[in-house]
Amino acid sequence: MASDKEASKKATMTYLATLPTGFVADALGKMNLMHQGTIGIYPIRGFEDAHIAGPVVTIKFAPVRATGVRKPLSFFEVIKNFKPGTVICTQAGEYMTFTGDIQTYMAKQAGIVGMILDGSPRDLAGLRSVGLPIWSKRPATRLMSSLWELSGFNVPIELGGVQTHPGDFVVADEDGAVIVPQEVLEQTAELAHFVAEIEEELEKATKGGASLDEVAAIYARKGAKVPIKH
């Protein structure tokens, strides 16, 4: 039944949301999905201890196409299409600012749980006062309106080197972000539960004086590969 499937998916996402990115990345790695962790994207100052998780919605910026045929989209128009509880993931220019405290405040009001930016925000003091966790590459002050425009939303993007689709699931903490493809959501949760158990076993073993060989054997079990379920 659809309701049972929806309930199962919700429970899966709720469980994944409790985990650190390392556990999620290790679970994906067991399926040979080795490139799901973002590169060079970290929480901005003030959110170093933040942890967010949720379904992905996307925004994509591209170089300006100034043909005069159509009006570029605006952030305020786009955000109306995003459901509460989601995480905005954005691809844009690295050194051009494309979000600030006003946009972030409106995102928070819409129920967005966080924003992960493959690019640069400004108004960092304002962002901290809004209180919506933000991940980005670096702050910037150069305006982008003459060079970049919002070209699409809920389309595939590249986020810190990861192909990211709307409907995927993201977990982010002080280490960065990990994207779980929606096609392997439930299997990732199953494997993450196994990883969590192995991590607990490793902690007990190391604190209990286990030998290097004993610890290596536990690690080998953790890293064993499994096929993706279809």
Tokens linked to 214:
């004993």
Q: Which secondary-structure segment (H or E) carries 229?
A: none
Phi and psi angles of residue 98, each rounded to the nearest 5 degrees, phi first: -140, 10
- Rounded Cα distance between 87 and 25, Å, is 18
Residue 138 host element (H or E): none
Q: Tell me if 192 is assigned to some domain.
A: no
- Is 225 contained in some domain? no
pTM of the model: 0.92
**pLDDT per position in the chain (230 positions), as tens?**
568 888 999 999 999 999 999 999 999 999 999 999 999 999 999 999 999 999 999 999 888 887 766 677 888 999 999 999 999 999 987 766 677 889 999 999 999 999 999 988 888 999 999 999 999 998 887 776 677 888 899 999 999 999 999 999 999 999 999 999 999 999 999 999 999 999 999 999 989 998 999 999 988 888 899 999 98
Pairing of strands 87-91, 114-118: parallel
139 in a structural domain: yes
* Residue 72 DSSP class: P
Whether 220 is in a domain gets the answer no
Residues with Cβ within 8 Å of 120's Cβ and at least 6 positions away in sequence, in order, are 92, 93, 94, 95, 96, 97, 98, 136, 137, 138, 139, 140
In a domain, 209, yes or no: no
> Whose CA is closest to 187, among 34, 2, 31?
31
Q: Is residue 145 part of a domain?
A: yes
Structural domain including 160 reads 37-180
Q: How far is CA 90 from CA 115, 155, 192, 219, 223, in A?
A: 8, 10, 26, 35, 32
What is the SS3 assignment for 53? strand
**What's the confidence (pLDDT) of residue 1?**
53
- Considering the domain boundaries, does residue 201 fall inside one? no
Task: Classify residue 163: in a domain, yes or no.
Answer: yes
| CATH number assigned to the domain comprising residue 125 | 3.50.30.40
Q: Indicate the number of domains in the chain.
A: 1
